[in-house]
Amino acid sequence: MTDFADSPAVRRPADWNLERLERLADEHDTPLYVIDLDRVKENYARFAAAFPDADVMYAAKAHTGKAVLEAVLEVGGTIECAAWGELQRAIDAGAEPNTLQYTAVNPPDHDLDYAVDLAADAPGLTITIGATDTLDRLAERGYDGRIAIRINPGIGTGHHEKVATGADAKFGIPYEQVPEVADRVREEFDLVGLHAHAGSGVLTDGLEEHCRAISRVGEMARRVGDEHLEFVDVGGGYGVPYREEEQPLDLEKTSEMVRDAVGELDAQLKLEPGRYVVADAEVILTEVNTIKEAPDTTVVGVDASLSTMIRPAMFGSYHPMLNVSAPERGPIEATVGGPVCTSADVFAHDRPIAEPERGDVIAIGNAGSYGYELANQFHSQPKPAEVALEDGEVRVARRRETLEDVTRLER
C-alpha cells in the first residue's frame, strides 16, 4: 500500500492554516466554502491504493463541482453519476464518456433520453438499472447496450436511516428476482455487471454489517455467472469521522474485509467512494453576527444557515467547529445557528467553542460531502461562493450568487 504517512487520515478544522482561512473570509466574504483540491487528490489516491486491482469510481453526487471532478480525473479516477446532469458535468470536466457509469434511480424520461443519446456515440457507457420498468423504457428507446443490475441486498448500513439504501425498496431489484432479470438482460441487452450500495458513512466499527451486505452481492454474482460479467460494483459508503473522538476508517482492514466478503470472482471489483474523497477537503467559513445570552445557553448567530448546508437540519449531522479568529480563547457552550426562520436552522446545540465575539470567523469542518450539493435558496438567500486551493494557489471555483441569480428565471 502506498505510504501516506505525511497525509493525515482525516483532516480536522484545526489542521487547516487558520490565518489563511481568516484571510479568505476577509477577501471573499462569508459564508464561504473553501475546497482543498490537493486534499481531494490525496484522499482519492489513498483509497485507490488500498484497492490496487479495483476500478475506483468517484461518486459524483457527493460534490459535482467542476474543480473537484477535474481533480479526480487528474489522478486517474473515473466517475459514477446518478443523474443526467452529473453525466454532463463529468464530460464538461474532461471525463471520457465511454468510462462513465450512470446509476439510474426512478429516472425521469429526460434522463433516459440523455443517457441513450450519449451511449449512441459512447458505447462504453454503462447504465445501471434498479427496476424492470427501466429496462422496458430503455428498450422502447432502442437501447441494447451495456447494463448493470442494481441489487437490493436487504441490508442497509450507514450513519442515518435516510442513507441506508441497501434495505430501502426504492433502490435495486429485490434479491431473489435478480437471476430472472439477469436472464432477460442477457437476451435483450449486454449484461456487464452487478451493483449494490448498502449505505453511507460507514466507519471501521460498522464494517461487519456493511460486508454482510456486500457478501450477498458476491454470492449473487457467482449465482448468475460472474465469469460472464466484467465487474461487480459494491458501491461506496466509506465514511470519515465527523466527531472528534471517532477514529478514521482503517483502509487496510476495510480492503481485507471487503475482498473477503465479496469472495473469489472472475469479474473485476468496483467501488464508488464519494464522501471519503471530499468530506474533509472542505470547510465553510461563517461570520458571527449575534451573541445572545439565554437562560440555558449562549446563542451564537452566524451568517451561514441551512440554506448554506442542510445536513444538520436534514440528518441531525454533527459537524466540527472551530473559532478561527481566536482558537486560544477559553471555551463556552454555545448554540450556533443561522438567520433562517426555523428551529431547524441550528448547526450545534451546547457545543464547546472558543468564546466567540461579533465579527469572529467560525470554520465548519467536513463540509465537502453533500454540503454545496444540497445548498439552496431558502429565504431568497443567494448561494455562497466557493474558493479552491491547489498547489499553493487560490482561485474562485464558483462566484457568489446575487439576488438577480435567485430571481432571474421568474416571469
Q: Output the tens digit of pLDDT for each of the chain's 411 residues.
A: 344 545 678 999 999 999 999 999 999 999 999 999 999 999 999 999 999 999 999 999 999 999 999 999 999 999 999 999 999 999 999 999 999 999 988 999 999 999 999 999 999 999 999 999 999 999 999 999 999 999 998 764 544 344 444 456 777 899 999 999 999 999 999 999 999 987 778 888 888 888 888 899 999 999 999 999 999 999 998 999 999 999 999 999 999 999 999 999 999 999 999 999 999 999 999 999 999 999 999 999 999 999 999 999 999 999 999 999 999 999 999 999 999 999 999 999 999 999 999 999 999 999 999 999 999 999 999 999 999 999 999 999 999 999 999 999 998
290 and 156 in a common domain: no
Establish whether 275 is an annotated binding residue: yes
262 and 205 in a common domain: yes
Domain range for 239: 96-273
Give the model's pLDDT for residue 155: 64
* Length of the chain in terms of residues written: 411
356 inside domain: yes
Chosen domain end from 273, 296, 322: 273
Query: How crowded is residue 330: how many other Cβ atoms within 10 Å of its Cβ?
Result: 8
395 inside domain: yes
Ordered DSSP codes for 332-355: EEEEEE-SSSSTT-EEEEEEEEE-
335 inside domain: yes
- Say which CATH number the domain at 206 has: 3.20.20.10
241 and 116 in a common domain: yes
287 and 157 in a common domain: no
295 and 254 in a common domain: no
Establish whether 212 is an annotated binding residue: no
398 and 289 in a common domain: yes
Distances (CA, A) of 153 to 82, 189, 282: 19, 23, 32
**What is the tens place of the pLDDT at every residue in 346-384?**
999 999 999 999 999 999 999 999 999 999 999 999 999
Q: What is the pTM of this model?
A: 0.93
Q: Cell numbers 469521522 correspond to what residue? A: 241
Chosen domain end from 241, 273, 305: 273
239 inside domain: yes
Report which of 296, 302, 248 is spatially closest to residue 276, judged by C-alpha positions.
248
Chosen domain end from 224, 246, 273: 273
Pairing of strands 282-293, 32-36: antiparallel
Establish whether 77 is an annotated binding residue: no
230 and 149 in a common domain: yes
Number of structural domains found in the chain? 2
Establish whether 272 is an annotated binding residue: yes
134 and 245 in a common domain: yes
- Say which CATH number the domain at 323 has: 2.40.37.10
Task: Give the per-residue SS3 of 269-322.
Answer: EEECCCHHHHHHHEEEEEEEEEEEECCCCEEEEECCCCCCCCHHHHHCCCCCEE
What is the helix (H) or strand (E) element at residue 102, kind and residue range? strand 101-103
Which residues have a catalytic role annotated?
A: 341
184 and 324 in a common domain: no
Establish whether 329 is an annotated binding residue: no
Establish whether 274 is an annotated binding residue: yes
